[in-house]
């Protein structure tokens, strides 16, 4: 990764559909260079280009963060079972008192209740669960360039 890669990523963060010709013009480099760089960034899984839907606007207004404590002997099976749940959007493996943090997005509180009491509660190996319903999302950041430069005073 070099400065040009970061500048290309920044352009794509502004508009993931921006043509490579437009990015090349903005950065003052050949279009083929930009196209090759984007292809490599995607191939090497450094970036993913996609659309992020607004949950409430597409019928998923209920969002919850769920912490799970897992019995060590059942850890892999629990991760596999949680990842397979349709309601689960994101799974993070943690250090600390809990083992997993999952984000769920569902159409109603009733659906969330069923997820907690009928699906997660039945997964063998989950020893403790704590849920926090997200009332409002205050920030979603994809400005990696700024985050990377925090320690450099930028």
Q: Is the pLDDT of residue 140 over 90?
A: no
pTM: 0.81
Domains of the chain: 3-43 (1.10.10.10), 55-134 (3.30.70.920)
Predicted confidence at residue 152, as pLDDT, reads 60
Whether 20 and 35 have beta carbons less than 8 Å apart is answered as: yes
- Which pLDDT does position 66 carry in this prediction? 99
Per-residue pLDDT, 135 = 95
> Where in the chain does DSSP place strands (E)?
62-70, 88-93, 100-106, 126-134
Token readout for 87 is 């309601």
């Amino acid at each position: 990764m070099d400065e040009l890669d970061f500048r290309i990523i920044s352009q794509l963060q502004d508009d993931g559909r921006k043509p490579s010709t437009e990015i090349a013009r903005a950065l003052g480099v050949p279009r083929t260079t930009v196209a090759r760089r984007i292809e490599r960034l995607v191939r090497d899984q450094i970036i993913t280009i996609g659309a992020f839907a607004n949950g409430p606007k597409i019928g998923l207004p209920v969002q919850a963060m769920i912490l799970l404590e897992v019995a060590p002997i059942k850890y892999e099976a629990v991760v596999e079972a949680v990842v397979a749940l349709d309601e689960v959007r994101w799974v993070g493996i943690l250090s600390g008192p809990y083992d997993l943090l999952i984000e769920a997005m569902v159409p109603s509180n009733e659906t969330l209740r069923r997820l907690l009491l009928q699906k997660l509660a039945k997964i063998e190996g989950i020893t403790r669960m704590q849920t926090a319903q997200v009332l409002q999302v205050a920030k979603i950041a994809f400005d990696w360039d700024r985050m990377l430069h925090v320690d450099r005073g930028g």
